[in-house]
Amino acid sequence: MTAQEDTSHERLKNHFAQRVTHQARQILDIWQRLQTQEWSPSRLAEFSEANLRLLRFAQRFDQPEHTELAQATHAVLQQVADNRGRLNSPLISDLNRLMQRLSRTSLRHGDPLAQVALPPLRKPIYILVQDLERAKRLSTQLEFFELSAVVFDSPTRFRMAMADRHPAAIVIEVDFAGPGQGLALAAQAQAGLEQKLPLLFFSQHETDTPTRLAAVRAGGQAFLTGTLEVSSLLEKLEVLTCVAHYEPYKVLIIDDSRAQALHTERLLNTAGIITRTLTDPIQTMAELADFQPDLIILDMYMPTCTGTELAKVIRHNDRYVSVPIIYLSAEDDMDKQLDAMSEGGDDFLTKPIKPHHLITTVRNRAVRARHLKARMIRDSLTGLYNHTHILQLLEDCSFHARRENRPLSFAMLDLDHFKRVNDSYGHPMGDRVIKSLALYLKQRLRKTDFIGRYGGEEFAIVMPDTDQESAYSVLDQIRERFCEIHYPAHPTDLWCSFSVGVVQLHGDSDSLKMASQADEALYLAKKNGRNQVQRFNQQG
């Protein structure tokens, strides 16, 4: 085969790979919707049909990993069918693990699992900004984040492109092609679309309420003012276009009656909620640490202890202060119910309860708990995990990696000469660089990796199922590409680099020791000239 034929074959293979990845995304979209609905036979059938299409495409276009995942998913769905359509926690957990693997097949660049390294967005972003040079600079910057963009200089060209292909998102200035014309053009583009396109408006000047109201009516989902720069734009685009990594809710049921616990479990499983049952309340804290539930359902009266006593024990641990506790009991005395809720409970449901009432209450509480937890564990500037939580995740992942004999790597990352950036360009520019790196890491790493802002300009990354050499390779590629991003500034444009120290879980290491070892490797990277990745030497 000649070099030209080889290139042609590779291009054709990538084209077919995109077809497979597109079908995989459709399955993930259905999976995402299933987390907010009951898993009726029709919805399970839709999920199964989408998976069979993926299997056919993957086999036809020679995509072995997608073939394996589709076959495994089909086997689980066949078990559901054999179980007369009834779901249980093991089956939901199996599906969730498969969907996690599917979600990272094209979202981790350089990872051995990723047979096809495709960017997160296949379709381009359409940019309509009055200042054509600014629009072109934005397009170039977006390419560093593996997002393609098309710049338009007239409404006519935009309409022609829309007739040919819909974009991943539209970024449009409210006064594009004339005062208020961008608003009208965007409204026309959205008219008649069954599924509205992600639409972001931009204005150089602060706008009044009527303009923002018009933007909302035109279908705008975000609005930026002032200088349109890539980090702010990326933040919005990530929210508007991201295929999120959804996990089913997890509920721990604590009830000394196995029959009652089994009944509750079956009801929640029909809604795709993962459950675990505990009939001995004395085992609660160990079970909480292992299962990490979104919500706890607690019986009021048990031989070993009362529900209110157990709720107090749970609340004594800071880690579980925000986990909702729902009492489920035959107790119908309102005063006793209120007393129970004052002792750490969030809700009280009386037996017998209608299935829909139970499912809706559990799901609503779990949704709010996840939102609240996200606010508690996230860094406000970057949206990454904060210092405390990234170390907690490292501890959890260390425990699971050791138990399952799986590799685990941990990296510490620090921006080089960051004080100079703040001193020379000001703290707003420093914040832009930090947010830009946070977004870049999220783009380049798997959804199953955990990224945290360790403090200031320092970041931490927990990489499950990754040995030190693979972690080194991925992080070194990210480092090289990040150096190419430039930030328009005065008196000169700015480029930044970072240094990394990486370590693999080894022997009897714990999370604190891994953090210390990664820090040592980072110090070595700084000492040896910065802008490099250093492995921790276990023998040293």
CB 332 within 8 A of CB 351: no
Q: How many residues does the chain have?
A: 540
Alpha carbons 326 and 496: distance in angstroms, whole number: 50
CB 185 within 8 A of CB 156: no
Q: Given the residues 395, 457, 469, 520, select the one marked as catalytic.
A: 457
Let me know if 457 is a catalytic residue. Answer: yes
Alpha carbons 481 and 168: distance in angstroms, whole number: 23
User: The tokens of 30 are what?
Assistant: 């259905």
User: The tokens of 187 are what?
Assistant: 């409204």
3-state DSSP call for residue 456? coil
Report CA torsion sign: 327, 332, 336, 337.
positive
Outline where DSSP puts E strands in 50-148.
125-128
Alpha carbons 185 and 189: distance in angstroms, whole number: 6
Other Cβ atoms within 10 Å of 232 Cβ, number: 18
Kindly tell me the burial class for residue 484, based on how many C-beta atoms sit within 10 Å of its own C-beta (0-12, 13-18, 19 or more).
exposed
**DSSP element (H, E) containing 96:** helix 89-103
Outline where DSSP puts E strands in 351-455.
408-415, 450-455
Would you name the residues annotated as active-site residues?
A: 457
